[in-house]
């Protein structure tokens, strides 16, 4: 029997962030999570109080729950998971 298991390798999130929180700060906090090697953030919309972000996260074993929790602690809301890439570990 194989000990391989599926893991998230890439995930694209639609995130709503308060404007007063720096995008760079949120990006660094996500990248500090174990299993994540790269974070790319694109600001897609800006209004008076919030910014909409497309957040692409890459790694060998991404834990979505840790990512969502980190974003929530930073005052952000995950609006949707737009893409997921899963591979065998």
Class for domain 6-88, per CATH?
alpha beta
> In the predicted model, what is the mean pLDDT of residues 63-68?
98
Is 10 in a helix, a strand, or coil?
strand
By the 10 Å C-beta count (0-12 exposed, 13-18 middle, 19+ buried), 12 is classed as: middle
Q: What is the pLDDT of residues 66-78, one digit of tens each?
A: 999 999 999 999 9
DSSP 17: E
Q: Is the pTM of this model over 0.85?
A: yes
Domain-by-domain residue ranges, the chain?
Answer: 6-88
Q: Which of 65, 66, 14, 67 is nearest to 41 (CA)?
A: 14
> What is the pLDDT, as a whole number, of residue 3?
80
Confidence category of residue 89, pLDDT binned at 50, 70, 90: confident
Q: What is the pLDDT of residues 4-54, one digit of tens each?
A: 899 999 999 999 999 999 999 999 999 999 999 999 999 999 999 999 999
């Amino acid at each position: 029997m194989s000990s391989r298991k599926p893991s998230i390798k890439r995930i694209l999130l639609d995130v709503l962030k308060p404007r007063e929180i720096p995008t760079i700060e949120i990006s660094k906090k996500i990248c500090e999570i174990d299993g994540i090697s790269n974070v790319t953030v694109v600001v897609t919309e800006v209004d008076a109080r919030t910014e909409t972000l497309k957040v692409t996260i890459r790694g060998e074993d991404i834990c979505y729950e840790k990512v969502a929790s980190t974003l929530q602690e930073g005052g952000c809301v995950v609006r949707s998971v737009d893409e997921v890439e899963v591979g065998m570990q």
